[in-house]
Amino acid sequence: MAEAPNHDEVLARFDELSVLEAEFDDAELEIIRKSNALNAPLYKKRAEIIAKIPHFWALAFEQAPPEIDNFLQPSDSQVFAEALESLDVTRFEIDDPKGSPRSVSITFGFKDNKFFEDKVLEKKFWYRKSKDWEGLVSEPVKIHWKKGNDLTGGLTDAAVALAQARKKLAKTNSAKSAETELPEYKALAEKLEMSTEASLSFFAWFGFVSSYRWITAEESEEASKADAERLEKLKQGEKVEDEEDDEDEQDFQETEVFPSGDEIATLIADDLFPSAIKYFKHAHETEDDELSEIDVEDGDDDDDESDEEIDIRGLVGKGRKADHSPPAKKQRKA
C-alpha cells in the first residue's frame, strides 16, 4: 500500500476478486469430485459392515452434534430406532456437465413399521442458480403414512399437492403471481400457520422445497450462462452493470414446510454421513460394555413386534437411572 488507492482502483479490485472467486469455485468442485471418487468405495464397504450392526444409524443420529440432533423430535427418534436400516448419500450429478457436484441425494432405507408404507425415502437436492441466489432446491417427497400415524400432521401431503399444482400451472400459465391463487397454496399456508415449528417432525423435511424459491433446471441453466458471460467480460476488463433486482413479491416462505431443509441436507451430507462411525462409536463409549449387551439383545427383534418397545435413548444410555455417569461431551473433528 505504497500509495493511496482511489475510488476506481478499489472498484477494480472488486472485479478482480470476483474473477478469482470463480477460480476458487472451480477448485472446490474438483475437490468434491476427487473426494467422491476416493470415498465412494469406502462408503460401500462401510454399508456392508453397517448392515450387520443393529441400530447403527439411529445411534449415529442420536450422537450427532446438536445442529442435527435438534431437528429430531422424540417420535422421530423412535421411528429411526425401530425402523431405520440404511442411509446413503450420493452426488448424482457429479458426471453431468449440466448438473453440479454439489447436488446431493439422501436416501433412507426402512423396514416394516407402523408409521408409513415406504421402504425407501429418497430426497434429492439440486444445486441451482437464479439471478440473485444459488443453493439447494428439492421436490417434496410423498410419504405413504399409515392411518392416524402421520407425524407431520398432513404437511408432507400438502407440500406434494402444492408442488404438483405448481408444475401444472407452469405448463398452462406464465403469470407468476397466480400460484398464490391455487387452493393447494392456501391449504398449505393455512396448515403451516396452525402448526408450531417447535414440534415440527424431522419427516416434514421430506416436504422441503427451497430456502429461496423453487428454481427449474432451465432457469438455473440460463442464470449460469449469464454468470459465465459476466465473468468473461470481467476477465477482459470490461465494465459490467449490476443486474437489476426485480424482486418477486410472493412470499415463498409462506408455504415452505421445513425452512432450514437445505441446511439439514448439508449437515447430513457433509457431517453425519462422513463421520457416522465416529458418532456411532461415541454412542457406545458413553455406556461402556453394558451397552453392547443391550444391542445384542435387540438384534433379534426383526421378526416380531417387540420392536415397538425400543427407546433409542435407552439404547444409548440416555435417560437411564441417575447413578450412571453423564455422557461425555460431544466432540468435533479438529
Q: Residues interacting with its own copies, by CB under 8 A?
A: 1, 4-7, 9-11, 13-14, 16-17, 20-21, 23-24, 27, 30-31, 34-35, 38-39, 42, 45-46, 49, 51-54, 85, 102, 127, 134-136, 262-263, 266, 274, 277-278, 280-281, 284, 292-293, 295-296, 299-300, 302, 332, 334
Residue with smaller CB distance to its own copies, 31 or 228: 31
Residue with smaller CB distance to its own copies, 136 or 188: 136
Residue with smaller CB distance to its own copies, 152 or 220: 220
Residue with smaller CB distance to its own copies, 175 or 247: 247
Residue 281 has, within 13 A of its CA and on its CB side, a CA count of 5
Cell representation of residue 139: 421436490
Q: How far apart are CA 116 and CA 111, in angstroms?
A: 10
The 10 Å Cβ neighbour count of residue 223 is: 19
Q: How far apart are CA 282 and CA 316, in angstroms?
A: 9
In the complex, what is the shortest distance from the CB of residue 78 to its own copies, in angstroms, rounded to a whole number? 19
Q: How far apart are CA 99 and CA 224, in angstroms?
A: 11
In the complex, what is the shortest distance from the CB of residue 91 to its own copies, in angstroms, rounded to a whole number? 14
In the complex, what is the shortest distance from the CB of residue 227 to its own copies, in angstroms, rounded to a whole number? 15
Residue with smaller CB distance to its own copies, 47 or 165: 47
DSSP letter (8 states) at residue 112: S
Q: Are 282 and 64 in contact (CB under 8 A)?
A: no
Cell representation of residue 160: 406434494
In the complex, what is the shortest distance from the CB of residue 295 to its own copies, in angstroms, rounded to a whole number? 6
Q: How far apart are CA 182 and CA 190, in angstroms?
A: 13
**Three-state DSSP class for 294?**
helix
In the complex, what is the shortest distance from the CB of residue 53 to its own copies, in angstroms, rounded to a whole number? 5
In the complex, what is the shortest distance from the CB of residue 194 to its own copies, in angstroms, rounded to a whole number? 26
Residue 311 has, within 13 A of its CA and on its CB side, a CA count of 7
Q: Are 158 and 184 in contact (CB under 8 A)?
A: yes
In the complex, what is the shortest distance from the CB of residue 315 to its own copies, in angstroms, rounded to a whole number? 13
H helix intervals, 51-127: 56-63, 66-69, 74-83
Residue with smaller CB distance to its own copies, 26 or 232: 26
Residue with smaller CB distance to its own copies, 85 or 287: 85
